[in-house]
Amino acid sequence: MAGAAAARRDAFLARAGKHPLVMGIVNVTPDSFSDGGRFQEASAAVAQARRLVEDGADIIDVGAESTRPGHQPVSAEVEQARLAPLLGELVAAIDRPVSVDTSKAAIAGWAATQGAAFVNDVWGLQRDPAMADVAAEAGLGVIIMHNREEVDPGCDIVADMRRFFDHSLKLAAKAGIPLSRIILDPGIGFGKTRAQNLEALHRLTALRDYDLPVLVGVSRKSLLGPILGDGADHRLIGTIAANLVAAAHGASIFRVHDAAEHVAAFKVFEAIETA
């Protein structure tokens, strides 16, 4: 990993867990649930990354394969073809670390050569057997997200998350990834019922004993719809409300589409928490 990416990685990790940090989303896919097709061109993706940073984002997460429910998986070749025209330019355009949202070791390793500082793996090092070793060798920070192949309404979702994280952390340790480079994500919206998603947010304190930063990605997700009804404004209000609750329960990194609104909300949150 180049010196600039490593420095940005370490500076971000030094702040994680101490203050609410905002991860801005740049999807370069044609089919993401919220903004699919909007940022596929390099100029649009770079402009969006700059806009998110100007709005206060602390890190930018770039994804080239949709992971929404019912998504169509793509090959590593397609994923890299979507990223290749823009990732290096995007990294150079902003003074923030860049994370690549992928479960493919080949993409993570290639992204590191383009200046990415983190890999955001929605299968927590467990889908691609090479992911942990590649991330370790490249020096990437790792976001380990909980996921399930099938929804099981009867399972204790927090117990399941802990089993998943324990396995992922063993894989990370075996590969030589330091704990200081790991972030946990409960995987809101992935392999869970709506009730389990809400329970996972409510019980985030059950993850505190890992002593690792916790990232929450609930931005604009459909689980918020039945609570407030449809509409863009409702999705934003619901997202901010959910993220403030998550912050109160121990989360410290928030993957969002709307950076400015969250930065403002967290300023108020911290002012009250530290009064």
**Would you say 80 and 46 are in contact if contact means Cβ atoms under 8 Å apart?**
no
Please tell me which residue in 9, 82, 220, 255 is annotated as part of the active site.
Answer: 255
Please tell me which residue in 220, 221, 235, 267 is annotated as part of the active site.
Answer: 221
CB burial of residue 203 (10 Å; 0-12, 13-18, 19+)? middle
Establish whether 221 is a catalytic residue. yes
110 token code pair: 């290639």
C-alpha distances out from residue 86 to 42, 47, 52, 158, Å: 5, 11, 16, 38
Residue among 133, 119, 29, 26 at smallest CA distance from 73: 29
Establish whether 192 is a catalytic residue. no
**Would you say 42 and 85 are in contact if contact means Cβ atoms under 8 Å apart?**
yes
106 token code pair: 């080949």
Q: Give the residue numbers marked as catalytic.
A: 221, 255
